[in-house]
Amino acid sequence: MTSMTSTRRVVTVGVDTHSDVHHAAVIDEVGRPLADAGFPTTPA
């Protein structure tokens, strides 16, 4: 018999919007940063 362990992780995503750039950040359940990125608001 095979068994699999399921792991769930809680994350929070925040987005700070500005006229030139939107910035997104992801943190885990205890506030540790996991990722962040900026995205230009140009049509391209």
Sequential DSSP letters for 1-44:
----------EEEEEEE-SSEEEEEEEETTS-EEEEEEEE-S--
What pTM was computed for the model? 0.71
What is the pLDDT, as a whole number, of residue 1? 65
Tell me, yes or no, whether 1 lies in a domain.
Answer: no
For residues 38 and 44, what is the distance between their CA atoms, to the nearest angstrom? 14
What is the pLDDT, as a whole number, of residue 7? 85
What is the pLDDT, as a whole number, of residue 40? 95
Condensed to tens digits (0 to 9), the pLDDT of residues 16-42 reads: 999 999 999 999 999 999 999 999 998
| Total tally of structural domains belonging to the chain | 1
Tell me, yes or no, whether 2 lies in a domain.
Answer: no
Question: Range of 23's domain?
Answer: 8-43
pLDDT at 44 over 80: no
